[in-house]
Amino acid sequence: MNNQQIPYNIYDDRCPTRDVLARLADKWALLVLGCLEKEPHRFNHLRRSIRGITQKMLTQTLRKLERDGLISRQIFPTVPVTVEYRLSPLGQTLTQTVSLLTLWVEDNMDAMSAAQQAYDEASVAGLPVG
């Protein structure tokens, strides 16, 4: 429930849950959450672990996840300063869901690739798709 005691409804386009869903459905957010599942990581370790993510995108993703309360950032007074990211208690409630989703994608990728290829071939041939 929210401050106004109106139930959240993900299907209502004015509901703030839509924004959270969009952020969680982002591939970079899911990959960051997955990397942090077992242990905290420093920024550069995350960047090396998540191939293809730019420094800018990782920074933006970490900020959004921190703002949503899903990760926390700890600063260590070293030279240079060390920053470590970890799942927050709220973020830890997502680990099983993120793991299941990533496993599902890996387990079903061949079937999805075959479906995509069949769809594309039918589209090129001018056949009805679906």
pLDDT digits (tens, 9 = 90+) for 4-35: 667 899 999 989 999 999 999 999 999 999 99
pTM (predicted TM-score): 0.83
Percentage helix, strand, coil for the chain under 3-state DSSP, each rounded to 5: 55, 10, 35
pLDDT band at 62 (very low <50, low <70, confident <90, very high): very high
The third-level CATH classification (topology) of the domain covering 17-93 is: Arc Repressor Mutant, subunit A (1.10.10)
Nearest to 34 by CA among 82, 91, 89: 91
Predicted confidence (pLDDT) per residue in 75-121, tens digit: 999 998 999 999 999 999 999 999 999 999 999 999 999 999 999 99
